[in-house]
Amino acid sequence: MVKKRLSENSPFLPLALFIVLCILITAVGILREIKKEKVPAPVPPVVKKEKPSVIKKAIPPYRKEKVQIGIIIDDLGWNKEIVEEIEKINRPITISILPYAPYSRDIFNKFKRNEMIEMLLHLPLEPRPPVQSLDKGVIKTEMSNDEINQQFYDALKNFYPGVKGVNNHQGSLFTSNEDKMRILLGAIQSKNLFFVDSMTARQSKGYILAKEMGIKTAKRDIFLDNRSDPQYIEGQVWELVEVAKKEGKAIGIGHARSTTIEVLKNILPEIEKEGIEIVPVSSLLE
């Protein structure tokens, strides 16, 4: 009995219990850590690193359609012989006929039977001084609205129906006058014709107004023969091709001159080898 009491009242008993408690707490902590280690950490997605030296360029949209150019031959009406040379081009080009030149109606009647050739009325409009127009029937900014309409209808009457549209002959002053151009375009629209702005002035309002009024329209990109030198003309044609390659289409204007026609006869087959399609201007309208 004495021994039992001594053991119950032993001063080492609390210490022993404390040590056991510490061991249990430590064991629980160890078990928790083991469980944490068993849970796999989430694997981050693999990101492919791009080489810093490589710069990605935007890929231009693929053009399903061919690159196209339209060619207008202006100022027809003064020379009957040029007609046969134009026909030898044997491509779908567009000609533009002056309303009052001496052979205009003969040329119109000739090309009217040629399905490959598209015809426009080459309408004389007032140029900016000091340039003067010697053409009959020039439409001027000083005219009233009624006079503008009447002058247009008079110029058109011998060629309608037949011509598909109108482009301006000269007209750097008239096409820059928004009010007067709006009247003229209204008359063109009344005959369901399209309008090609020859862009004889940077300030021309024709193309912009025609789009605003819902008229089918286009504008000249390159003049082909401001000089009659064949090498110059050939260079301008290739410049037209470069514009077409960038924009998908382009319009060039040349004149009814033997040098211009000869260059076109020789160079258009080469252009087609570049994948360029020659089309009537009406195919390029906006």
Taking a C-beta distance cutoff of 8 angstroms, is the pair 254, 74 a contact? yes
As a whole-number percent, the residues of the chain with pLDDT over 90 amount to 73
pLDDT in tens, 231-265: 999 999 999 999 999 999 999 999 999 999 999 99
Taking a C-beta distance cutoff of 8 angstroms, is the pair 187, 153 a contact? yes
Overall size of the chain counted in residues: 286
Taking a C-beta distance cutoff of 8 angstroms, is the pair 215, 164 a contact? no
So where are the chain's domains? Answer: 67-284
pLDDT in tens, 21-75: 666 666 555 556 545 444 444 445 544 445 444 343 444 443 446 899 999 999 9
Separation of alpha carbons 224 and 61, rounded Å: 30
Start-to-end CA span in the chain (Å)? 120
Q: Is the peptide bond before 130 cis (omega within 30 degrees of 0)?
A: yes
- 132 pLDDT tier (thresholds 50, 70, 90): confident
Measured N-to-C along each axis, helices 104-111 and 82-89 cross at an angle, to the nearest 10 degrees, of 30
For domain 67-284, which CATH number applies: 3.40.50.10490, 3.40.50.880, 3.20.20.370, 1.10.357.10?
3.20.20.370
